[in-house]
Amino acid sequence: MKKLLITAAALAVTAGSAMAQDVVRMGTEGAYPPWNFINDAGEVDGFERELGDELCARAELTCEWVTNDWDSIIPNLVSGNYDTIIAGMSITDERDEVIDFTQEYTPPDPSAYLALSEDVDVEGGVVAAQTNTIQAAFVAEQGWTLVEFPTPEETIAAVRNGEADAVLADKSYLAAAAGENDDLFLLEREEMIGGGVGMGLRESDTELREKFDAAIQSMKDDGTLNELITKWEVASTF
Amino acid sequence: MFGFCEDPSTLSNLPWMACYLTTGKQFLFYGSFLTVLALIFITAPVALIFGFGGAMAARSPILPLRWFGKIYVAMVRGVPDIVYFMFFVIALDQGLEWIRHQIKCPDWDAPIRQGNDFIVCAQAKLPLSTSPQVWHEVYNFSLAVFTFGIVFGAFAANVLYGAMRAVPRAQMETAEAYGMTPRQSFWRILVPQMWMYALPGLSNLWMILIKATPLLFLLGVEDIVYWARELGGSANPRFTAYPHPDWRLWYFIGLLVFYLAFTRVSEIVLARITRRLSHGQGTLGGVRQGKAA
- What is the tens place of the pLDDT at every residue in A201-217? 999 889 999 999 999 99
Work out the angle at residue A62's Cα, subtended by the Cα atoms of residues B139 and A99, and round it to the nearest 5 degrees. 70
Residues of chain B above pLDDT 70, percent: 99
Q: Are strands A166-170 and A126-130 parallel, antiparallel or unpaired?
A: parallel
Higher pLDDT, residue A39 or B86: A39
pLDDT at A194 over 80: no
Q: Say whether B220 sits in a helix, a strand or coil.
A: coil
Q: What's the confidence (pLDDT) of residue A5? A: 46
Identify the band that residue A121 occupies on the pLDDT scale cut at 50, 70 and 90: confident
Class at the top of the CATH hierarchy for domain A2-107+196-232:
alpha beta
- A2-107+196-232 shares its CATH topology with A111-191: yes
Identify the band that residue A56 occupies on the pLDDT scale cut at 50, 70 and 90: very high
Amino acid at B209: L
Which residues from A are below 8 Å from B93, CB to CB?
A: 79
Identify the band that residue B40 occupies on the pLDDT scale cut at 50, 70 and 90: very high
Give the integer Cα–Cα distance in Å for B228 and B4: 26
Nearest by CB: A20 against B119, B128, B218: B128
Q: Are residues A34 and B238, on separate chains, in Cβ contact within 8 Å?
A: yes
Q: Is B137 on the interface with A (CB under 8 A)?
A: no
Nearest by CB: B122 against A20, A37, A40: A20
Domains in chain A: boundaries = 2-107+196-232, 111-191
pLDDT at A6 over 70: no
pLDDT in tens, A59-97: 999 999 998 888 889 988 988 888 999 999 999 988 999
Q: Which of A79-93, B169-183, B222-236 is least confident?
A: B222-236
Identify the band that residue B293 occupies on the pLDDT scale cut at 50, 70 and 90: low
Give the integer Cα–Cα distance in Å for A226 and A234: 10
B250: left (phi over 0), alpha (psi -120 to 50) or beta: alpha
Give the integer Cα–Cα distance in Å for A174 and A152: 10
Looking at the 3D structure of chain B, how many domains does it have? 1
Mutation target for B interface from A21, A40, A61, A153: give the one with most B CBs within 10 A: A40
Interface of A with B in 197-236 (CB under 8 A): 202-204
We report the CATH number of the domain holding residue B267 as 1.10.3720.10
Residue burial B56-94, b: 16+ Cβ < 10 Å; e: rest:
bbbbeeeeeeeebbbebbeebeeeebeebbeebbbeebb
Which residues from A are below 8 Å from B129, CB to CB?
A: 20-21, 23-25, 83
Q: What's the confidence (pLDDT) of residue A50? A: 95
Identify the band that residue A20 occupies on the pLDDT scale cut at 50, 70 and 90: very low
pLDDT at A100 over 60: yes
Q: What's the confidence (pLDDT) of residue B235? A: 83
Nearest to B42, CA basis, from B177, B163, B160, B145: B145
* Mean pLDDT, residues B128-134: 78
Amino acid at A189: R
Alpha carbon of B25: minimum distance to chain A alpha carbons (Å): 4
Higher pLDDT, residue A77 or B285: A77
Look over chain B and give the mean of its residue pLDDT values, rounded to a whole number: 87
Nearest to B36, CA basis, from B228, B229, B225: B225
Q: In the CATH hierarchy, which fold is given to the domain comprising A111-191?
A: D-Maltodextrin-Binding Protein; domain 2 (3.40.190)
| Domain residue limits at B121 | 3-292
